[in-house]
Structure 1
Amino acid sequence: MSESPRSRLRVRPRHVVRWVAVVVVLILVATIVYAVYNYQHFVNGVTHIDAIPAASSSSSSSKGENILLVGDDHRPANASAEELAQLGTTADGGGTNTDSMLILHIPDGGGKATLISLPRDSWVDIPGHGMGKLNAAFAYGSDSGGDAGGAQLLVKTVQNLTSLHIDHFVRISMIGFYDVAKALGPLKVCLVSAVNDSYSTFVAPAGVSTLNAQQALAFVRQRHGLPNGDIDREARQRYFLSAEAKNFLTASTLLNPGKLNSALTAVSGAIQTDKGLNWLSLAAQLKNIAGGNLNSSTIPITGTPTIYYNGSAVSIVQVDTAKMPAFVASSIRRPSRRRPRRPAA
């Protein structure tokens, strides 16, 4: 007797469920392997240095991690004229002055992060060197101690200035910045006024513009012609971090193996950091940064005077040290959790 249609229907779902389970397992395994491979590929490309001083003079009571993010003006060795043109710079060798400095504060429990800008011309006490511009600290330290010595002296200087303990250090060079911007693709900006700056080579009309890697680098380097100079440039740098984090987390990057590999290679090959940095913890903040769920501010200042130091006129950013403790406390303060009121008896 032939099999009835009803009996055939009772057999088929079992085969379907079995194959669906196999496919789901294979997808999960492939996803895990893909994630582990990309993570190891990224970590193996990072350059590690002893950036954090063994002893800290900071008296910070903040909870969470503070990561010092810096960018310098270093050009690649033996760069061709074409490469320098892409960077919008000249063959003057650049330097190790850290012209971009920000503190990323990540609170315990994964709360809202805070990004604090440190103006490069901040007039501060650099241990062992007296008063000077903040961006010179790394260069002073690297003269005798290489990149590790430069990082440690900058960390000490920032800790003394803010009383925040710096837990980790991340540094990116000009060429590294360019490579990252190139790997992640175009960046959209909206300008109030047209720009034609010969110093940074940034040229753009008023309104919305889509920038390639060269233009993006020029955009964050420009300070001449901006109403507040370096302070406005810092705002651009914070915007760039947020925009590129969002760019990285798009499906067009994460689900494109070639683009993701290029982006991870560019980022890991562009940075120096201390050995103890937890990349998974930092990566967890990318979503918040990309979504704009981030507090951002600049340390308090009293003005940008020109002073005379050792017989020369020097334009500086005068830090308001009196307001610094309150500023730091308010910047990293976690929102209070109010207990629900009991209903009246």
Structure 2
Amino acid sequence: MSSIGRFRRACYVILRTAWVLVCAAVLVVAGIAWSAVSTISTGVERSHAIAADAPRSASGRNILVMGLTTRLDLHGEPLPADVLRRLQAGESDRGGYNANTLILVHIPASGPAVAMSVPRDNLVPLSSGGEGKVKEAYGRAKVAEEDRLRAAGMADKRQLERAGREAGRRAQVQTVSAFLDQPVDHLVELSLIGFYHIAEGLGGVDVCLKNATEDPLSGADFPAGPQHLDAGQALSFVRQRHGLPGGDLARTRRQQAFLSAVARRLTDPAAVAAMIDMAQRDVVLDAGLDLAELARNLPSEVRFDTLPVEGGAHIGGQDVNRVDPAKVRAKVTELATAPPPPPPNGGVPCVD
């Protein structure tokens, strides 16, 4: 296989694994444009939320991918009005800092990797104390840290935003790690605008729906069957949960379908350039993630699955997922040792 062919295949694997976290790193594998890898390594925001002496996975490597609901940029500034309009996601003060997308990617020493989606409404113990939805760990810790720093005299908005986000990342990593009983070696963070920029940079994505669906809250209005979505439609596609069988769990499968759709577009240098541009604007990686080293040890295949829930409940005015931690942890162990089979014929099936 040519170096370009290896490069494209590696990009496909990586994008299915965790959006764009290391797509540029496979340039190393392909022997192409080391300067582009260097640009990514130095140009992407870095986090120190995972301490250098934190516990590490003994059976490979675990990467936690977090997709935030915030309508703000990396510095806490509102997005331009025209961008908010295209997002169809409300005003800049909506969304908060919930981690609505949580995927633990396990990369073993050998064999296929597995990307395990953690349903966002799972009721779990939070690292800050008490119970809450797993998605809330980030936002609660961010607010608490900013309040503490303001009381101590810090007034600079950007400093508060950065410190608050670092506290949020630490809390989200610790909460997911404790819930799954798995160390988290690395993290990748992407906000709502990142989803949009991915689809925009690629000129849209191709998906397939089992049934026609409409949801004014997300802006979704799609016929059944295969179709091409522009950037705004793609964001509506991954945000929709109302009117779907399975609700939020169906949305989780849509997120997986979106990642696969993006991966299939990475067949030309222009698409890769779009991914690099998006990474520099919208992605945060932990400081310990060595892109070149990771690229050299990537598996040739990544498969998706969703961790189990026991059923729904209504607690404190909120709908939550009841979970059995023992069953969830057993499933994580099972998937880490025996990933699910690949999609039929190597394709991506239609989703709800």
User: Taking structure 1 as the reference length, what is the TM-score of the superposition?
Assistant: 0.77
1:299 and 2:311 correspond: no
CA distance in 2, matches of 1:153, 1:55: 16
Counting only pairs closer than 5 Å after superposition, residues 105-120 of structure 1 correspond to structure 2 as 105-109=106-110, 111-120=111-120
Farther off after superposition, 179-188 or 221-230: 179-188
Aligned counterpart in structure 1 of residue 68 of structure 2, from 62, 72, 76? 72
Q: What do residues 139-188 of structure 1 show as CA deviations (whole Å, max 9, x unaligned)?
A: 12212041111111111111110011100010001112211221122211
Alignment length (residue pairs): 287
CA distance in 2, matches of 1:128, 1:262: 38
Query: How much does 1:282 deviate?
Result: 4.7
Aligned counterpart in structure 1 of residue 186 of structure 2, from 149, 152, 168? 168
Query: How much does 1:201 deviate?
Result: 0.5
CA distance in 2, matches of 1:224, 1:285: 40
User: Structure 2: 5+ residue runs without aligned partners?
Assistant: 1-29, 146-162, 340-352
Q: What do residues 313-344 of structure 1 show as CA deviations (whole Å, max 9, x unaligned)?
A: 22101112231232121110169xxxxxxxxx
Corresponding residue number in structure 2 for 1:272: 284
1:134 and 2:134 correspond: yes
CA distance in 1, matches of 2:287, 2:258: 26
Farther off after superposition, 297-306 or 130-139: 297-306
RMSD: 2.2
Could you say if the C-alpha distance between residues 287 and 267 of structure 1 is closer, same or farther in structure 2, counting changes exceeding 3 Å? Answer: farther
Q: Which runs of 4 or more aligned residues in structure 1 lie more than 6 Å from their structure 2 counterparts after TM superposition?
A: 284-287
Secondary structure of 1:100's partner? strand
Q: What do residues 270-314 of structure 1 show as CA deviations (whole Å, max 9, x unaligned)?
A: 1111111122355568884xxxx433222221101212xxxx322
Task: Answer yes or no: is the 8 Å Cα contact 2:207–2:257 preserved in 1.
Answer: no
Counting only pairs closer than 5 Å after superposition, residues 152-301 of structure 1 correspond to structure 2 as 152-248=170-266, 250=267, 253-254=268-269, 256=270, 259-280=271-292, 282-283=294-295, 288=300, 293-301=301-309
Query: How much does 1:193 deviate?
Result: 1.2
Farther off after superposition, 90-99 or 161-170: 90-99
Farther off after superposition, 267-276 or 210-219: 267-276
1:103 and 2:104 correspond: yes
Corresponding residue number in structure 1 for 2:83: 83
Larger C-alpha radius of gyration, 1 or 2?
Answer: 1
User: Structure 1: 5+ residue runs without aligned partners?
Assistant: 1-30, 336-345
CA distance in 1, matches of 2:297, 2:132: 33
Secondary structure of 2:33's partner? helix
Could you say if the C-alpha distance between residues 219 and 50 of structure 1 is closer, same or farther in structure 2, counting changes exceeding 3 Å? Answer: same
User: Taking structure 2 as the reference length, what is the TM-score of the superposition?
Assistant: 0.76
1:330 and 2:326 correspond: no
Residue 112 of structure 2 aligns with an amino acid whose one-letter code is K
Residue 335 of structure 2 aligns with an amino acid whose one-letter code is S
Residue 50 of structure 1 aligns with an amino acid whose one-letter code is H
CA distance in 1, matches of 2:297, 2:196: 23
Query: How much does 1:78 deviate?
Result: 3.4
Corresponding residue number in structure 2 for 1:26: none
Percent of aligned pairs with the same amino acid: 35
CA distance in 1, matches of 2:251, 2:35: 36
